[in-house]
Amino acid sequence: MSYSKVLALVIEDDSRVSRLVRSHFEEAFPGIRVEIAGSAAKAAAICARFRPTLIIWDGTPNERGTRQEYLDCIPEAQWKATICISMTEEDQEEAQTRGARKILPKRPDGLNAWADDVVEYVKAALRPRRRR
């Protein structure tokens, strides 16, 4: 893949969801680099090495990491670039406390429409502000 200044990191253990987000982002933002981290350890390594422009985060614990590991994989300063996609209230509240920019929980019954909503939010958030 070619080099891009914009890196989106998807921290999600469900490959169906992470691949869907990646394909929607690559279609909407030509030239963007999208990395997928299916574990807290891989996410921590990517955050430390590359400092993603945008992080899509599901912190629900699983066999690849505890809830605390998923919270700690994102450095404090990078939470303001994070969109929480977790469906659990506990994760959403913690993400808000840490300064996440938006809460957009997954909708299992409509993943494509949900991914479109995430893309639309990111487009609006990255749109340059008009000066008056």
Task: Give pLDDT tens digits for 53-64.
Answer: 999 999 888 888
Global pTM reads: 0.90
Average per-residue pLDDT for the chain:
91
Amino acid 97: pLDDT: 96
* Predicted pLDDT at 118: 96
Q: Give buried/exposed letters for 64-97 (b at 16+ CB in 10 A, else e).
A: ebebebbbebbeeebbebbbbbbeeeebbebbee
Is residue 14 within 8 A of residue 86, CB to CB? The reply is no
**Residue 74 and residue 43 in contact, taking contact as beta carbons nearer than 8 Å:** yes
For residue 100, give both structure tokens. 């996440």
pLDDT of residue 3: 56
User: What pLDDT is recorded for position 1?
Assistant: 41
